[in-house]
Amino acid sequence: MATTKTTPQDIETTVMKALEQFGADPSALTRDATLEEVDVDSLDLVELTQVVEDEYEIDLENADFKKVKTVGDVIDLVVDRVG
């Protein structure tokens, strides 16, 4: 359940942990890393979407991810929606 005061750091932690669970190399996970560099495919993005939607009670569309290229882009997208 989303808290009333979710910080960008909270969201970053959630995204990074989820990506690690999907098999991304933790040492490669930085905001600047491209999704390709950390081996995040479209199925992983679908699963990640579900994780953040459930965690922060937001709705994301496939179209939201069309411009997402890096881990930081994903985090910023979620921060924007939660904010």
Tell me what the pLDDT averaged over the chain comes to: 91
Cα–Cα distance measured from residue 83 to residue 79, given in angstroms and rounded to the nearest whole number? 6
* Residue type at position 49: T
Cα–Cα distance measured from residue 12 to residue 1, given in angstroms and rounded to the nearest whole number? 16
Residue 42: the pLDDT is 87
- DSSP tag of 60: -
Per-residue pLDDT tens for 43-76? 999 999 999 999 999 999 888 888 899 999 999 9
Residue 2: the pLDDT is 47
pTM of this structure: 0.89
Domains and CATH numbers, the chain: 8-82 (1.10.1200.10)
Cα–Cα distance measured from residue 55 to residue 70, given in angstroms and rounded to the nearest whole number? 21
Examine the pLDDT at 4 and tell me if it is beyond 70.
Answer: no
